[in-house]
A = this chain, B = another copy of it.
Amino acid sequence: MAFQFEILKKDAFSKARLGRIETDHGSFSTPAFLPVGTQGTVKSLTPEELVEVGVEVILGNTYHLYLRPGCETIRRLGGLHSFIHWERPILTDSGGYQVFSLAKLRKISEEGVTFQSHIDGSLHFLTPEKVVEIQGILGSDIAMVLDECIPYPSPYEYAKASTLLTTQWAKRSLERRRETNPALFAIVQGGTYQDLREESVQALVKMDFQGYAIGGVSVGEPKSLMLNVLEWTTPFLPENAPRYLMGVGTPEDILNAVMLGIDLFDCVLPTRNARNGMLFTSIGKISIKQAQYAEDERPVDETCACYTCRHYSRAYLRHLYLANEILSSRLNTIHNIYYYMNFIGGIQEAIQEGRLLDFQKTHCSRPSGLEPEVSAHRLTTWG
A residues engaging B (CB < 8 A)? Answer: 39-41, 43-46, 64, 68-69, 73, 76-78, 83-85, 294-295, 297, 311-313, 315-316, 318-320, 322-323, 325-327, 329-330
* Contact of A83 with B329 at beta-carbon distance under 8 Å, contacts A77-B295, A77-B297, A295-B76 already known: no
- The answer, among B46, B76, B294, B322, for a CB contact under 8 Å with A330, is B46
Contact A316 B73 (CB under 8 A): no
Contact (Cβ within 8 A) B69 A39: no
CB distance from A268 to the nearest CB of B (A): 14
Instruction: Name the one of B84, B295, B312 contacting A316, with C-beta atoms under 8 angstroms.
Output: B84
B294 touching A325 by the CB < 8 A rule?
Answer: no
Bound Cα distance A316, B329 (Å): 21
Q: Assess whether B311 is in contact with A69, with CB atoms less than 8 Å apart.
A: no
In the complex the two chains form, is B73's CB within 8 Å of A39's CB? no
A69 with B326, Cβ < 8 A, contacts A40-B320, A77-B297 known: no
Name 17 interchain pairs, CB-CB below 8 A, sorted by A: A39-B320, A40-B316, A41-B320, A41-B327, A43-B326, A44-B327, A68-B319, A68-B322, A68-B323, A77-B313, A77-B315, A83-B313, A83-B315, A84-B316, A85-B316, A326-B329, A330-B330
Query: Of B44, B45, B85, B315, which is within 8 A of A312 by CB?
Result: B85
In the complex where A77-B315, A83-B316, A313-B83 touch, is A325 in contact with B41 (Cβ < 8 A)? yes
Contact across chains for B326 and A294 when beta carbons are under 8 A apart: no
Q: Are B326 and A326 in contact (CB under 8 A)?
A: yes
Contacts of A78 in B (CB 8 A): 297
Which B residues are in CB contact (< 8 Å) with A40?
316, 319-320, 323, 325
Give Cα A297–Cα B44 distance, bound, in whole angstroms.
22
Complex formed: what's the CA distance from A322 to B73 in Å? Answer: 15
**How close is A191's CB to chain B, nearest CB, in angstroms?**
33
**Which of B85, B316, B319, B327 touches A45 (beta carbons < 8 Å)?**
B327
Decide: A46 near B327, CB < 8 A? Known: A316-B77, A319-B68, A320-B40: yes
Q: Is the pair B44, A326 in contact by a Cβ cutoff of 8 Å?
A: yes
The 10 closest A-B pairs by CB, nearest first: A44-B326, A39-B323, A69-B319, A85-B311, A41-B327, A41-B325, A77-B315, A76-B295, A326-B329, A73-B295
